[in-house]
Amino acid sequence: MKPGEVSLADRGVLFLDEFPEFSRDVLEALREPLQDGTITISRAAGSVTYPANVLLVTACNPCPCGFHGDPAEPCRCTHGDLDRYRRKLSGPILDRIDLHVTVPRLSPEELVSIGGGGESSAAVRGRVEEARKIQQERWRELGYQCNAELPERVLRRNLNMEDDVGAFLADTMKRARLSGRGYSRTLKIARTVADLEGTEKIAVRHAAESLSYREELAFGNYGMKNGWKR
């Protein structure tokens, strides 16, 4: 029982391209490591638990033909094709992936202009390193290194939010299909967004940006219609 890819990537990045094309059994097997950071393999000879604390990055097309939502090329898929394609990814798996980001096709003008005017990688890295230092100091006494590692009981007791954030989240959860796990992950992301900004308290704008990354909202363009994208 040798460790597989998810354990070999422990404390690193596991990138899975064409995510819906993996077999359903393989995708469902990711539930345990994404939730607990470990994976247990059981066979007739016994069982063994391996570390599997990975940063999972996946990519997929919006539909089988790849053009759903494209402004230039019409999608050739039927409603049945779209439904079958999306059903390959179960709700529990999507619920365990923190950020769902749609990447549209770049126009010829955008492709030509790439390389100038944007924030440099060095500047982004500096902000990320500073945010990691903030998190390490904040959670050091509790034995955690970053926001993503926080269990539910610690997360709820130690969040520092402005007074109107709770009402904003409660109102959003009434209108969106957000599970308890999705809500907890939304809080962790909001805390990280605030850390990247160097802000001590979570504000509504941080919670709104966090919510815009949830798949439950993204499919209906809910976040876009409410101006949550920055």
Q: How far is CA 194 from the centre of its chain?
A: 16
The domain made up of 121-225 has a fold known as Helicase, Ruva Protein; domain 3 (1.10.8)
Q: For the structural domain made of 5-97, what CATH number should be given? A: 3.40.50.300
Nearest Cα neighbor of 54 from 65, 39, 66 is 39
Domain boundaries, the chain: 5-97, 121-225
pLDDT of residue 117: 67
Q: What is the mean pLDDT of residues 63-76?
A: 89
Q: Kindly tell me the burial class for residue 125, based on how many C-beta atoms sit within 10 Å of its own C-beta (0-12, 13-18, 19 or more).
A: exposed
Indicate yes or no: pTM above 0.85.
no
Distance CA 214, CA 97 (A): 9
Per-chain mean pLDDT for the chain: 86
Question: Higher pLDDT residue, 71 or 133?
Answer: 133
For residues 79 and 34, the answer to whether their CB atoms sit within 8 Å is no
> Mind listing the pLDDT tens digit for each residue in 153-176?
898 888 899 999 989 988 888 777
pLDDT of residue 45: 83
> Mind listing the pLDDT tens digit for each residue in 110-122?
778 766 667 888 9
> Mind listing the pLDDT tens digit for each residue in 102-155?
888 877 887 787 666 678 889 999 999 999 999 999 999 999 999 988 988 898
